[in-house]
Amino acid sequence: MISETNEIKIPIVSIQTLTYKVYSSRFYVLFVFSFLAFNQCTIWLTFSPIARNTENYYNISEATVDLLLNWGPIIFIPCLPLTSILLNQPNGLRYCVIVLAVADFLAALCRVLPSVIIASSASNFNTIALPFIHIGQILNAACGPLVMAPVSQLSCVWFAPHERTRATTIAIFANNFGATIGFVINPFIVTLPEHVPRLLYVHLGLAFIACVLALVYFPSKPPSEPSAAAELLSLNPTNNENKHNWRTFLKDIWKCLTTPSFLFLSIAGGLLYGTFSAWTSLYDVILEPENYTEEQAGWFGFGSSIAGIVGGLFLSYLADTNRFQHSLKTFILISFIACLFSIVWFELCVHSLFYDKHILSSTALTIGLSTALAGLFSGAASPLIYEALAEIMYPLPESLSASILVQWMNVVALIFLFVAPKRDKLVNFLVLVVMIVCIILVVITRFTYKRRDEDERKRIEKEQNQSNASHLINDITNEHSYGTFD
């Protein structure tokens, strides 16, 4: 029968469902997560840049101030597996962010309470205040895995393949930027012991704002997936069917650790960045024989950190371009080798295990340039290692590879925290040895790009489906326009 109404009935799905989409809300999600990561690091680093004023205000020793900082890696290590399991539950990313926002606000609140309920001049102020300060630092330390483990997974869930490395970079360096700002701003706010509460109130205000932003709106995922990798992650049986979370978690860890490529690269990343963080924290001790002040050493550390952020953003932009999406190994190797030369330059300008006088000219310019270049190239490689590990272990969740990497970092950093006191020359030499070992490990690592290849395959497949759907619509339209029999 010839259709009398001339209606066109198209028995296929809408073309729009055949393409991947990204949503503008991804920038808000990244901003809120980065804000929380920034706050977590600034709270962790509260007391070290103002150690002398802290000691006087709370009447505590230098060892206690060091412990307040060391709670970070101590608590991080046992909390990380719990974070990884939570992250891979249904809506796990949202749960992690909500826990992070609330816990960090409570941590900041705990540290403020003693100054509210009792005068600092009271004889028992130290007895009351110190437990609250420790509880606040421990709560904040437990948030460490919540800002470091999800970075690769957040970028995969919300961003397109050509944006992922930059999104990962921003999420990583937001946390690092907190430490950078802390070293500069904390001494500026706290010029006298009685000014310590001012800094605590600033942190409480920032934590409150970030908490409100996260509670008001932070969806676990976009309405539709931006890539094939995100699509697979949302359908991962770990999220829906498997009830033995610990068994699955341990099985996946074993798979990672028995994959040589993953093992070599994760150890290289953990060794380098764990050692590097301990080394940069000793700038003031290493540079003291060269007659540099603590303030100058702090500015060298600040410059190194800022350079690392710039290097990471620049190299991640290149790695996201079509031409260089399969060049992660090349970029990482170039960065590591350049970092090695920068460290050698620095060590020739200072005293070492083998000589008491520097070999090259030691000026503020040469020290500043060498530390900035070391930070630039080490920072440039950092997000690429996160992404490379996710590529190698695909289709396992990105959070798992990131979790193992940051666990290596914290274990190494914790070891160096115990080695470092009064052993600045040894640490100065070890960072050079570690850098060489890391280059060797990267050279023998076989890089694969399973996730990007799968994204590209799915993209081509969907484009073909879209093209076929368009042809089918045209054919049906033409049939109806010519009065074809139903």
First and final C-alpha spacing in the chain = 6
Task: From 382, 394, 365, select the one nearest 274 (Cα to Cα).
Answer: 382
Question: In terms of CATH architecture, what is 21-225?
Answer: Up-down Bundle (1.20)
In this structure, what token pair is assigned to residue 41? 């690091």
Cα–chain center distance at 135: 24
Measured CA to CA, the distance from residue 35 to residue 40 in angstroms comes to: 9
Domain boundaries, the chain: 21-225, 244-468
In this structure, which topology does domain 244-468 adopt according to CATH? Growth Hormone; Chain: A; (1.20.1250)
Q: In angstroms, what CA-CA distances link 225 with 43, 220, 479?
A: 34, 12, 35
The pLDDT of residue 240 is: 45
Measured CA to CA, the distance from residue 314 to residue 312 in angstroms comes to: 6
Q: Around Cβ 485, how many Cβ atoms within 10 Å?
A: 7
The 8-class DSSP code of residue 485 comes to: B
Q: In angstroms, what CA-CA distances link 75 with 69, 267, 445?
A: 11, 21, 31
Q: For the chain, state the CA radius of gyration.
A: 26
**What values do phi and psi take at 215, rounded to 5?**
-75, -35
Task: From 177, 221, 199, select the one nearest 36 (Cα to Cα).
Answer: 177
The pLDDT of residue 332 is: 94
Measured CA to CA, the distance from residue 171 to residue 146 in angstroms comes to: 12
SS3 at position 358: coil
The 8-class DSSP code of residue 212 comes to: H
Measured CA to CA, the distance from residue 35 to residue 214 in angstroms comes to: 10
Burial 324-337 (b: 16+ CB within 10 A, else e): ebebbbebbeebbe
Q: Around Cβ 263, how many Cβ atoms within 10 Å?
A: 16
Measured CA to CA, the distance from residue 247 to residue 257 in angstroms comes to: 15
Q: Around Cβ 419, how many Cβ atoms within 10 Å?
A: 14
**Residues 197 and 90 sit within 8 Å (Cβ to Cβ):** no
Q: What is the DSSP string of 69-124?
A: HHHHHHHHHHHHHHHHHHHTSTTHHHHHHHHHHHHHHHHHHHHHHHHHHS-TTSTT
Query: Per-residue pLDDT for the chain (486 aa), expressed as one digit of tens each?
Result: 444 444 444 444 444 444 678 889 999 999 999 999 999 999 998 888 888 888 888 888 878 888 888 888 889 888 888 888 888 888 889 999 999 999 999 999 999 999 888 887 888 888 888 999 999 999 999 999 999 888 888 998 999 888 888 999 999 889 888 888 887 888 889 888 889 999 999 999 999 999 999 999 999 889 888 888 788 777 764 444 444 467 777 888 898 889 999 999 999 999 988 888 878 877 777 787 788 876 777 788 888 889 998 999 999 889 888 888 888 999 999 999 999 999 999 988 887 777 777 777 778 888 899 999 999 999 899 889 998 998 898 888 888 888 889 888 888 887 877 776 666 677 788 889 999 999 999 999 999 888 888 777 777 776 676 666 666 555 554 544 433 333
Q: In sequence order, what are the residues at sequence separation of 6 or more whose Cβ sits closer than 8 angstroms to the Cβ of residue 299? A: 368
**Residues 359 and 290 sit within 8 Å (Cβ to Cβ):** no
The pLDDT of residue 16 is: 42
Which single residue is written with the structure tokens 């802290």?
A: 54
User: Whole-model pTM?
Assistant: 0.80
Which single residue is written with the structure tokens 């139903």?
A: 486
**What values do phi and psi take at 2, rounded to 5?**
-80, 135
Which single residue is written with the structure tokens 């272990």?
A: 393
Q: Do domains 21-225 and 244-468 have the same CATH topology?
A: yes
Residue 389 burial by Cβ neighbours in a 10 Å radius (0-12, 13-18, 19+): buried
Q: In sequence order, what are the residues at sequence separation of 6 or more whose Cβ sits closer than 8 angstroms to the Cβ of residue 331? A: 315, 318, 319, 324, 380, 381, 384
**Residues 229 and 156 sit within 8 Å (Cβ to Cβ):** yes
**Residues 93 and 154 sit within 8 Å (Cβ to Cβ):** yes
In this structure, what token pair is assigned to residue 87? 């992250």
Q: In sequence order, what are the residues at sequence separation of 6 or more whose Cβ sits closer than 8 angstroms to the Cβ of residue 262? A: 256, 389, 392, 393, 401, 404
The pLDDT of residue 267 is: 93
In this structure, what token pair is assigned to residue 45? 């680093």
